Amino acid sequence: MRVVSVKYDEYALIYTLKTNGGDSTVLNKLYGRATQLDTQLLERFRQFSLENGILPENIAVLPQTGECPDA
């Protein structure tokens, strides 16, 4: 796991490479502190994912639920 980019009061972009036997899986995650993330940040996440071999149809931004679990 590698922290690619972080601005502690706004977001964190995380890259994870998992290898099991001969199979490798790449997982990129974008965590945000706000319910609305900047469109430029979302595009940066999308571009980073494409550069790391993620197919466009496998890049997903989950819908907002409006819920924030208690810490």
DSSP codes of every residue in 23-50: EEEEEEEEEESSSS--HHHHHHHHHHHH
Residue 24 located in a structural domain: yes
pLDDT band at 70 (very low <50, low <70, confident <90, very high): low
Residue 62 located in a structural domain: no
Q: Quick one: DSSP state of residue 64?
A: P
For 19-57, the pLDDT digits (tens) are: 999 999 999 999 999 888 999 999 999 999 999 999 999
Residue 26 located in a structural domain: yes
- What's the total number of domains in the chain? 1
How high is the pLDDT of residue 71? 55
The whole-angstrom separation of Cα 40 and Cα 68 is 23
